[in-house]
Amino acid sequence: MIRKEAIEIAVKEIEDEPIISANGYISRDLFSLCDKKSNFYMIGSMGLASSIGLGVAIKNPEKRIFVFDGDGNVLMNLGSLATIGSIKPKNLIHVIFDNSSHESTGGQPTNSKIIKIEKIARATNYKVYEVTTGLKLKKVLKNIKKKSGPIMIIVKIKTKKMISKRITYNPIIIKRRFMESLTTM
């Protein structure tokens, strides 16, 4: 499974719920597959998607908040896991698309093959699921609807040169529609 396939499966289960997506190809894939107002495409500030997601989750306890992260992103802000694990937002679902690679900068390796993100997440009070197939991902996403977070789903994906188009919205538009979606949906 490559990232774009995994994202396609995930968004079908998530539907209209808010997603904060990390910079790089993750946001680009999400934008090209399923653009919607409740997607916050974080195009810069690498590492911070989970922090933004935490802030949104704290203020919207009645909504489930999804974060689409990468292995490079989560390793850049491991402190965020400690903070999330301390606050324990029940409505936060942190999905990591893990290809052990900084794909958008040329496929340089990350250390996610050597260290266990899953173990770090468990130590910081997450419920953790690890999946390698689309079928399993779908099953986990259905299964967690009745579970409380913080939840992490690590989706092991393969690298492949399939590049989605860049996000065409002005960042201020991304912000405005996301804010509007939080109050109207």
Write out the residues near other proteins by the rule CB under 8 A. Answer: 20, 40, 42-45, 47-60, 77, 79-80, 82-83, 87, 171-172, 174-175, 178-179, 182-183
CA distance 73 to 60: 24
Of the pair 81, 137, the CB lying nearest other proteins is at 81
* Exposed/middle/buried for residue 91 (C-beta within 10 Å: 0-12, 13-18, 19+): buried
Task: Look up residue 57 and give its two tokens.
Answer: 């989750």
Of the pair 58, 163, the CB lying nearest other proteins is at 58
Q: How far is the CB of 134 from other proteins (least distance, A)?
A: 29
CA distance 83 to 139: 28
The dihedral formed by the CA atoms of 84, 51, 148 and 94, expressed in degrees to the nearest 10: -110
Of the pair 1, 43, the CB lying nearest other proteins is at 43
Q: How far is the CB of 85 from other proteins (least distance, A)?
A: 11
Of the pair 63, 136, the CB lying nearest other proteins is at 63
Of the pair 25, 40, the CB lying nearest other proteins is at 40
The dihedral formed by the CA atoms of 120, 121, 123 and 124, expressed in degrees to the nearest 10: 120
Q: How far is the CB of 133 from other proteins (least distance, A)?
A: 31
CA distance 38 to 35: 9
Q: How far is the CB of 94 from other proteins (least distance, A)?
A: 13
Q: How far is the CB of 84 from other proteins (least distance, A)?
A: 9
β-sheet with 39-41: strand ranges across = 39-41, 19-21, 65-70, 92-98, 151-156, 127-131
